[in-house]
Amino acid sequence: MNLIILGAPGSGKGTQAQALAEKLKLRHVSTGELLREAVAKKTEIGKQVESVITKGDLVSDELVMQLIEPAVTEFKPDDPWEGWILDGFPRNGKQADALEDLLSSKRVTVEGVIVLEVDPEVVVDRLAKRGRDDDTPETVRNRLEVYEAETRPILDLYEQRYDVYYVDGSQSIGDVTEEILGLLT
Ligand code: AMP
């Protein structure tokens, strides 16, 4: 099964993607995590993206596609996964189009798109508690704006193309996971 999970920063998409990946034997592909690893390891890519992430802007589409392509198309026979869940990707229309092209060229399908919905006040409260480098109030505001302006519009396309499931992300972690699993089966 291949899934995409979308939601504003602080909606819990990383947590839910991790839980669903374990339950459904999916590879958890988080572009944010991959980028943060690159920053921590001080790779060339890491050096290029550090200030962009700290501001809460989006890193270049080309760079993100380089991370995504092998993760969604390359599988080894002994991999434990039976598909993938994309967390934090796509983030804008260009990335959504690039993903469509990539998947159709490999004849890969997406079985569902999960959208976690939360009120902005809940988001701000959750992120203040998490305290990542890009969780400062100013950066959070920018990340919420980027989500509304760039990411949410992808849903118009996805509603025409895929099964899109909207879930209330302000419930407890376990309840959100249960609801999603119920919707998928
Ligand atoms: P996340 O962990 O998904 O909240 O991502 C943290 C940060 O990494 C974002 O605010 C962006 O700066 C960057 N990032 C993650 N995924 C993407 C993506 N698909 N496209 C561009 N930038 C991304």
Instruction: Name residue 114's beta-bridge partners.
Output: 5, 165
pLDDT of residue 93: 98
Mean pLDDT of the chain: 95
Ligand 1 centre from 162 Cα, in Å?
23
Instruction: Give, for 84, the enclosing helix (H) or strand (E).
Output: strand 84-87
pLDDT at 124: 86
Question: How far apart are the C-alpha atoms of 155 and 55, rounded to whole Å?
Answer: 25
Answer yes or no: are the C-beta atoms of 114 and 6 closer than 8 Å.
yes
Are 46 and 33 within 8 A, CB to CB?
no
pTM given for the model: 0.96
Among 16, 35, 39, which residue has the most ligand 1 atoms within 8 Å of its CB, making it the best to mutate?
35
The sign of the CA dihedral 38, 35, 181, 110 is negative
Q: pLDDT band for position 121 (50/70/90)?
A: confident
Q: What's the confidence (pLDDT) of residue 20?
A: 98
Q: What phi and psi values does residue 30 have, to the nearest 5 degrees?
A: -110, 110
pLDDT band for position 39 (50/70/90)? Answer: very high
Residue 75: pLDDT band with limits 50, 70, 90: confident
State in Å: Cα 59 to ligand 1 middle: 7
Task: List C-alpha distances in Å: 104 to 98, 108, 109, 135, 150.
Answer: 10, 6, 8, 36, 23
Residue 3 is predicted with a pLDDT of 98
